[in-house]
Amino acid sequence: MYLLFTVNVVSAAAKGVVSGALGGMFTKQTKGVTCACEVAEKNEWKIFKKGGKLVEKAVDTFGSVLETIVEKRKETMETDGLNVEEEAIIINRTMCSEVITYMCTGLYFSRMIVEYSDSSGKKTSITVEGSGSMIEIPAHARDIKVRFQNQRFIGTWCDVKKYDRKKNCWCEPKVPHVFTFPEPVTRTFTLEGSLYYVAVMNVTNELNEQIDIME
């Protein structure tokens, strides 16, 4: 029983140490590590009236290892000549994903299909249905393609064709409207029109700003 509790507390404390340590790095401090351990002590230590020393030792060991990792990363950062803000941007781009969302104003069934490749060339295809659906794009994704379909008959899905929003007309020849991005981005697409004339009529970025892209 105590071993099970030990694993849970060590896991919780470890997460706190990581969060605190990274926060400390961005403020050029390491107080986050100490604070994380103190929080773990206040909230978890009362559970252990027996075997408490075992847990304390395990968390201390975890904290020491993680603190060392963070310190090494700080040294690397200084060697690379990066400041705190630049380091934060790099970590954000490496660890965080972007999101592609689509909205549909029509009452018909619709769906979004997103395809991308990873660094090894492995292809992934994800399909979501229904207005408001979204797909998370991992940081390692490349050559991202986004397209849409609507259902005209039961079991019959048709590609949403390319529409020129500036000229207010369909593009010729009529081809599926495919948006391509070399790297992950956050975008929201809005489909409008009747059942047989569905088009992408609006595209916005992560700041909800309208952007003028055709593909």
Q: Over the stretch 158-198, which tens digit does the pLDDT of each residue have?
A: 999 999 999 999 999 999 999 999 999 999 999 999 999 99
Final residue of a domain: which of 58, 93, 128? Answer: 93
pLDDT score at 16:
42
DSSP calls for 83-147: -HHHHHHHHHHHH--EEEEEEE-SSS-EEEEEEEE-TT--EEEEEEESTT-EEEE-TT-EEEEEE
Compute the distance between CA of residue 60 and CA of residue 66 in angstroms, rounded to an integer. Answer: 10
Q: Are residues 108 and 183 in the same domain?
A: yes
User: 88 and 57, same structural domain?
Assistant: yes
Question: Is residue 76 a contact partner of residue 26, using CB atoms and an 8 Å limit?
Answer: no
Flag whether 62 is in a domain.
yes
The answer to whether 83 touches 125, Cβ cutoff 8 Å, is no
83-98: pLDDT as tens digits: 655 555 555 555 568 9
Q: Which pLDDT score, from 0 to 100, does residue 127 have?
A: 98
Is 111 in the same domain as 192? yes
Q: Residues of the chain whose pLDDT is less than 70? A: 1-96
Please say whether the beta carbons of 161 and 171 come within 8 A: yes
Would you state the pLDDT for residue 155?
A: 87
Are residues 17 and 42 located together in one domain of the fold?
Answer: yes
Among 36, 68, 93, which residue terminates a domain? 93
Per DSSP, the chain holds a count of helices (H) and strands (E) of 4, 11
Shared domain for 109 and 198, answered yes or no, is: yes
- Mark whether 79 and 24 lie in a shared domain: yes
Contact (Cβ atoms closer than 8 angstroms) between residue 161 and residue 170: yes
Q: Is 187 domain-assigned?
A: yes
Global confidence as pTM: 0.58
Distance CA 48, CA 112 (A): 51
**Domain span including residue 50:** 2-93
d(CA 191, CA 156): 18
Domain membership of residue 86 (yes or no) is yes
Both 76 and 24 in one domain: the answer is yes
Regarding whether 145 and 121 lie in a shared domain, the answer is yes
Q: Do 63 and 118 reside in the same domain of the chain?
A: no
- Which of residues 93, 110, 143 is at a domain's end? 93
Give the pairing type, strands 187-192 and 123-129: unpaired
* Residue labelled with tokens 């380091």: 87
Coil/strand/helix, residue 82: coil
Q: What confidence score (pLDDT) does residue 82 get?
A: 57
Percent of the chain with pLDDT over 90: 51
Strands 163-164 and 169-170: antiparallel
For residue 176, the domain's CATH number is: 2.60.40
Domain count of the chain?
2
Q: Note whether residue 210 is domain-resident.
A: no
Q: Say yes or no: 89 and 121 in one domain.
A: no
Q: Are residues 198 and 102 in the same domain?
A: yes
